[in-house]
Amino acid sequence: MKKGIISFVCMAALAFSAVGCSSNPAAQTPSDATDQTTSQAETTEALSGSITMSGSTSMEKYASAMNEAFMIAYPDVTAEAQYTGSGAGIEAVAAGTVDIGNSSRALKEEEKQNGVVENIVAIDGIGIIVDKQNTVTNLTTEEIAQIYKGEIKNWQDLGGADQAIVVIGREAGSGTRGAFEEIVAVEGQCQYAQEIDSTGAVMAKVASTPGAIGYVSLDVIDDTVSTISVDGVAPTTETIKDGTYTLTRPFVMATKGEIAQQSPAVQAYFEFINSDAGQAVIEQVGLTSAK
């Protein structure tokens, strides 16, 4: 994690510990504020235990930052995440082997029928990426679908160089793959040159492969690749918020049963996410609030 994010996380968590979850501290009297700060401090000190989660590799940056901020606010609680893929995370929470299943897609009806509850914590954009030498800067949703179905095979047909398109995607069970294929309407039709099992590996493969195209969580994109606009709209926090960028999906932290049925530590974790400090972490890692 970058140094700037770590510093920000520390400040956000310490601010949460100091003022609690009040949305209007200015309206409090001095005694009210003192009582609330004391009460928050007592709650923070009393809370202990652990929170386990597993799931989406696309949510690693988000989960790492949120866990770190939460543990600063609640030093006697340990929050740990494993990155096993969305499908595996949902299976784990359904089986009761973890407290939270991280999923970078909406839950399926059959998953909900197993008692798993969809708690949407943020909205993420799916970025379409190509190698840095690619001169194509915009694709329509239909062109993306044609690429992934194997109907367009050369960048020359899209205004680029005479170069074969290398179609990179995620493995079966990936939340990013599921969301991408559903949005672009290519479920069960993709002709992948290679299926890769993590977000970081997709980034590395596209960056190092001439003619490659892939899809990843927007918040992990760096300057090793180029990002493609979709239907003339660049993927940014602003275009995700206003709905003009259409390749978006929820970040879900699923629980077995409602949040109110979870342990005190897990309930406190979701309260922290919804606090000003937690929302600031979401913004800092490049996601859009689900509130």
pLDDT tens digit string along 67-107?
999 999 999 999 999 999 999 999 999 999 999 999 999 99
Write the pLDDT tens digit of every residue in 179-224.
999 999 999 999 999 999 999 999 999 999 999 999 999 988 999 9
User: How sure is the predictor about 46, in pLDDT bands with cuts at 50, 70 and 90?
Assistant: confident
Residue 101's φ and ψ, nearest 5 degrees, are -110, 115
**In this predicted structure, what is the pLDDT of residue 219?**
84
Contact 13, 7 (CB under 8 A): no
Q: Per-residue pLDDT averaged across 254-260, rounded?
A: 98
The class that CATH gives domain 3-123+250-289 is: alpha beta
Task: Answer whether 3-123+250-289 and 124-248 agree in fold.
Answer: yes
Amino acid occupying residue 33 = A
* H/E run at residue 51: strand 49-55
**3-state DSSP call for residue 210?**
coil
Count of C-beta atoms within a 10 Å radius of residue 206? 26
Task: Round to whole Å and give the CA distance between 289 and 291.
Answer: 5
DSSP assigned state of 277: H
Task: Round to whole Å and give the CA distance between 180 and 38.
Answer: 47
Nearest to 253 by CA among 99, 71, 61: 99
Task: Round to whole Å and give the CA distance between 127 and 215.
Answer: 6
Find how far residue 230's CA is from the centre of its chain.
20
In CATH, what is the architecture of 124-248?
3-Layer(aba) Sandwich (3.40)
End-to-end CA distance of the chain, in Å? 25
Domain range list for the chain: 3-123+250-289, 124-248
